[in-house]
Amino acid sequence: MKRGAGPRRTSLFRKYFATLFAAVVAPLLIAGGSEAWLGYRDERARLNDILNAEARLAAVKIDDFLDGIREQLGWTVQLPWSEESGERHRLDALGLLRQVPAVESLTLVDAQGRERLFVSRIGLNRIDSRADLSLRPAVQGARANGAWFGPVRFQGGSEPFMMIAVAGNRSSVGVAIAEVNLKLIWEVISGIKVGRTGDAFVLDGPGRLIAHPDINLVLRADEAGQRPFQALRGAILDRPGEAATGRDVAGETVLAAMAPIPSVDWSVIVKQPLAEAFGPLYGALLRTAALLVAGALLAAGLAWWLAQRMIGPIRLLEDGATRIGAGQFDHRIELKTGDEFERLASRFNEMAAELRVSQERSQRIDRLKRFLAPQVAELVDRTGDDSVLDGRRVELVVVFCDLRGFTAFSVRADTDTVIMVLRRYYEVLERAVNAYEGTLIRFSGDGAMVLLNAPVSVPDPALRAVAMAGDMQRDVQELLAGWRALEGRLGFGVGIAMGPATVGGIGSEGRLDYTAVGNVVNLASRLCDNAQDNQILVDLVAAQAIGAASPLVPLEALDIKGLDQPVPVFAVGTHGTQPAK
């Protein structure tokens, strides 16, 4: 039974636990998950905006650098060329070199496109070489658009240079062409910081690195080494306006955005390590995850506790039921949950108490059965009422009977024959007692004592007693007819007396007997003693109770030991033989 109950109990606990746990964790997970997802989307959008803004800002800064040079160049193309203006132009040009460190050399061209002045930091200055530069793209470009930006070249295969040409607002002022060392953008680009460690770099149209916080990467002018930059730009161009993820030169995953500088067809790209960019988000996710874990643990604890609370009483009840079922009726289920379980437990306890009472009763009845006629015992059993066994005084019919000459027979016969004879004799008596609902109090040797009307009331007890005694005589005489061969003096007599007597269970704890106490018992016993073989003696009270229902023959009054006067005696039957004195 325990083996069968084990798995079922576990599964119920699991069911409760799983249900309660799921009830708490599922909403928690849904809330946490959706928050994380929304957080990621918002953060991604926010980063997109930030990086795009940073890229535009960086582009503005780079553009400012170029614009600054262009503006400064503008000052050198204010004055129209004349024979006297040479010195003024020279001073302007030298002033520009002094002002703008990025300009390595400056060429001033007059309205006809001839070189009028060349000043350099490194080479010798030239004045009025009048070389025709009118077909140079710089001159033509500047004249057409006001300003012209040449392609980037890497001097000595290393340093990026670019030509910037600016035309004045009148053709007579000519064109200024500056050779600009783009290495100096480094100061601008290294000043741009995105977040904590993010930075910016600049690519020209063909994708060559022009500016990077690590100047070495620029100076290396290494096509293969610059592929990651181009790949990053490609990734951004694939989805315009959105920040893209990619890898930088160091192989780190970065989030990058781009802004163009249209005048020179450059791209300014800002990047931030993904880990840093998403740092706050990761922090938030981590917090959410921690909360989820904490929530799940709490839910598990709660579910455990609740399931335990559910299952604990059930286990107690089950255990109690098992014990009670096993017969421990004094077991009590201690449950103070204040709910249905407690009610159920008290029902169990009540049941146990009732079972105990009924067990005690059935034990008592079992004991009763030993000296009650089976019908009587059954009656007591059926009604469940053993109060009949309580001591009380009733109008009683007592029947005594015994065998005559049995002592001599038992001496002569062998033991087996004696036992067999007694067994047959007892069987006959018992059949008769049972037939008339009498109560067999005891056999003692060859005698027997039988009560009628106690403990179970029967109608006409005296008449019944006579009828019963008649049956006994008839059957016993039949037996005796067979046994007289062994002992000729064998006989059987019966005495019946009626009167009030005290009946009840009398005895100690170890041994309880149901018996009757009173004169009537003595009388019945004396009548039996006085009865001759095949005779049934009845006292006056019984005879009166019988009346005419059965033929009785009055006999001489008998002197009974313990009684002062002779007692009237009747014999059952149509003729009477005076009993022996």
Binding residues (CB under 8 A) for another protein: these are 87, 90-91, 94-95, 97-98, 101, 104, 121-125, 154, 156-159, 181, 183-184, 215-216, 219-222
Q: How near is the Cβ of 110 to another protein at its closest, in Å?
A: 19
Which of these, 538, 533, 535, lies nearest to 558 by C-alpha position? 538
Task: Decide whether 91 or 486 has the Cβ nearer to another protein.
Answer: 91
CA distances from 326 to 1, 263, 331, 352, 366 (A): 11, 100, 10, 11, 20
Handedness of CA 534, 540, 542, 545 (dihedral sign): positive
Identity of residue 258 = M
Task: Decide whether 160 or 455 has the Cβ nearer to another protein.
Answer: 160
Q: How near is the Cβ of 295 to another protein at its closest, in Å?
A: 45
DSSP letters spanning 125-194: PEE----B-TTSHHHHHHHHHSEEEEEEEEETTTEEEEEEEEE-SSGGG-EEEEEEEGGGHHHHHTT--B
Task: Decide whether 217 or 553 has the Cβ nearer to another protein.
Answer: 217
Task: Decide whether 102 or 454 has the Cβ nearer to another protein.
Answer: 102
Task: Decide whether 31 or 184 has the Cβ nearer to another protein.
Answer: 184
Q: How near is the Cβ of 116 to another protein at its closest, in Å?
A: 15
Cβ(135)–Cβ(143) below 8 Å: no
Task: Decide whether 28 or 219 has the Cβ nearer to another protein.
Answer: 219
Q: How near is the Cβ of 212 to another protein at its closest, in Å?
A: 12
501 membership: H or E segment, kind and range: strand 491-507
Instruction: Please give the DSSP secondary-structure letter assigned to residue 446.
Output: T
Bridge-partner residues for 140, per DSSP?
none
Q: How near is the Cβ of 243 to another protein at its closest, in Å?
A: 30
Q: What is the CA radius of gyration of the chain?
A: 66
Q: How near is the Cβ of 251 to another protein at its closest, in Å?
A: 16
Q: How near is the Cβ of 47 to another protein at its closest, in Å?
A: 30
Instruction: Please give the DSSP secondary-structure letter assigned to residue 460.
Output: S
Integer Cα distance of 259 and 267 in angstroms: 6
Indicate the pairing of strand 253-261 with strand 244-247: antiparallel
Task: Decide whether 182 or 501 has the Cβ nearer to another protein.
Answer: 182
Tokens of 124: 């010798």
